[in-house]
Structure 1
């Protein structure tokens, strides 16, 4: 099974980057299953139904998210009815939406689990480690593969999670920091892992935003309105091919001025 996991898509610039690079990536790697983090896909914060449908039209199988999932008010109108849109499973039980799903593709069943770290996130969350245990017990006997998007700030928390689920999850990829790490690896028990995929969106930006705005905030301490940067685009993703004979993992970075 070949998996393509795409880093946080940032606004219209990120969607344009997808349209530019995804066809050639699909042609080269021929993925069976595509997961994309889309929580920043609408204006840099949240996701709308229109943007969700636009992403699905690119043959994305599942869209994961994180702390910005509820930023757009209209999300409450459609998240419960969209099985291919996930929010972190360790949100409080009353939160709208679902934290994982089971999807059938090419004769195989894939469980995709969306979890969020607790370090520096500022949201009351259940323990993502124990939440994985709970979901794993529910799905382990009914699926062929388990893929996890671990949306977290602290690299130590992401790495610890990777080792914690090693041998149980097939793929664990980190999101949220929008800065790719160079630590893609196969862990000792066979889990394909990377701490953070990076972003799909503006190349010349501060984690996707126009640089002058966060610079002003750092200099003055005053609140500013962030806007998605434009111009040169960047596409970052992780490709994993897993079979009984081998596990291949490759970090993908494509860019255009």
Structure 2
């Protein structure tokens, strides 16, 4: 099984670029399942029902999120109604939505888990304790985790903790693709951060001048999504359906050829 995991999609421009090129990427790499992080897919930050639908229309099978998932109130009920759109599993009990989902593909299945780091992030439940609870559930043989976190040390600690227990883990949140795609000793595929999908000339998707103003002057400013040429950052895992072990990992940075 080949699984394509796409980095944080930013705004309408990121959604549109993904819609234009995802089918081509699936064909090129032979991907059977597409997981997309959509927590920034709404133009006004967060994720909305309409931006989630744009990602599904583009070809996403499962949508993961992160610390911005609840920025827009209209997503609350949508999460309840669409189990294939995840919020981090370590939110408190009773929070809207679900933290994991098993996609039934007929001949096989894949479980996708979403978890939020707590280092420099929200004060949520310990993700190590939470992942132990999730893994005690009845899950598919192939298990993939989107670990949405700031600290590379926390992501690497989680990866070492889960090697041999899940098929693959990809990090999200920092919007910058790391150069460490690899397979751990017990067969878990890994990348610290898969990157983002959106405008190349930007600061994590935001117009550079606005990010510069905020950091130089330490004054509040309303961020706006940048424009121009875009990229799709992703990672491709090839995983055995029988054993759940990853046999290859490939990081992808796709840009439109002019």
In which range does the TM-score fall when normalised by the shorter chain? over 0.9
Q: Mark the runs of 5 or more structure 1 residues left unpaired by the alignment.
A: none
Structure 1 segment 75-90 matched on structure 2, within 5 A: 75-90=75-90
Deviation of 1:58 (Å): 2.1
Structure 1 segment 58-97 matched on structure 2, within 5 A: 58-97=58-97
Deviation of 1:108 (Å): 1.1
Greater alpha carbon shift after TM alignment, 241-250 vs 225-234: 241-250
The answer to whether 1:217 aligns with 2:214 is: yes
Greater alpha carbon shift after TM alignment, 206-215 vs 23-32: 23-32
The answer to whether 1:171 aligns with 2:168 is: yes
CA shift digits 1:25-57 (9 cap, x unpaired): 111112111100000000151111111112111
The answer to whether 1:99 aligns with 2:121 is: no
Question: Take 2:246 and 2:176, find their aligned partners in 1: how far apart are those partners?
Answer: 28
TM-score (norm 2): 0.95
Question: Take 2:152 and 2:94, find their aligned partners in 1: how far apart are those partners?
Answer: 28
Question: Take 2:249 and 2:212, find their aligned partners in 1: how far apart are those partners?
Answer: 36
Greater alpha carbon shift after TM alignment, 79-88 vs 235-244: 235-244
Q: Mark the runs of 5 or more structure 2 residues left unpaired by the alignment.
A: none
Name segments (4+ residues, structure 1) moved above 6 Å. none
CA shift digits 1:82-132 (9 cap, x unpaired): 1110000001113111111111114112111000000001x2201111111
TM-score (norm 1): 0.95
Tell me how many residue pairs correspond in the alignment.
254
Residue 32 of structure 2 corresponds to which residue in structure 1?
A: 32
CA shift digits 1:123-166 (9 cap, x unpaired): 22011111111110113xx4121010000000110111111000
Question: Take 1:82 and 1:73, find their aligned partners in 2: how far apart are those partners?
Answer: 15
Contact in 1 for aligned 2:20/2:58 (Cα 8 Å): no
Question: Take 2:22 and 2:76, find their aligned partners in 1: how far apart are those partners?
Answer: 29
Deviation of 1:59 (Å): 2.4
3-state SS, counterpart of residue 101 of structure 1: strand
Structure 1 segment 1-257 matched on structure 2, within 5 A: 1-43=1-43, 45-121=45-121, 123-139=122-138, 142-243=139-240, 247-256=247-256
Question: Take 2:44 and 2:207, find their aligned partners in 1: how far apart are those partners?
Answer: 11
